[in-house]
Structure 1
Amino acid sequence: MRLFYEHIKIKQINKYIYSFDRSPIQDVNWETLLQAEDKNRKIQRYQNQLYQNCQDTETDIQTLKTQYQQLQQQRQQLRQNCQDAETDIKSLEIQQQELLQNSQETEAEIQSLETQYQQLQRQRQELLQNHQDTERELQSLETQHQQFWQNCEDLETDIQILETQFQQLHQNSQETEAEIQSLETQYQQLQQQRQQLLQNYKETARDIKSIEKQDQNLQKQTRLIQRNHRRKVKDLNSRILILSGSAIKQICNLYHKDKKRYKKVYKTLKNMMNNLYYPGLHTHKIHSKFGPSGEDMWEAYIENKTPSAWRVFWYYGPGDRLITIDDIVP
Structure 2
Amino acid sequence: MGKTRLALTIAAVITLVGCGADSGDATGQAQAAQQDEVNFGLVIHGGAGTITRENMTPEREEAFKAALNAALDAGYAILEAGGESMDAVIAAIQVMEEEPLFNAGRGSVYTFDGGHELDASIMHGGLLDAGAVAGVRTVKSPIQLAREVMENSRHVMLSAEGAAEFAEERGLELVENSYFNTEHRYEQLQRALELLREEDRTGDQIAQSGTWDPAFNMGTVGAVAVDQRGNIVAGTSTGGMTAKRYNRIGDAPIIGAGTWADNASCGVSATGHGEYFIRYNVSAQVCSRVKYLGESIEEAGAHVIHNVLLPVGGTGGVIIMDAQGNFSMPFNTEGMYRGARTQREGTVIGIYQQEE
TM range (shorter): under 0.3
Larger Rg: 1
TM-score by length of 2: 0.23
Name the one with the larger helix percent.
Answer: 1
Name the one with the larger strand percent.
Answer: 2
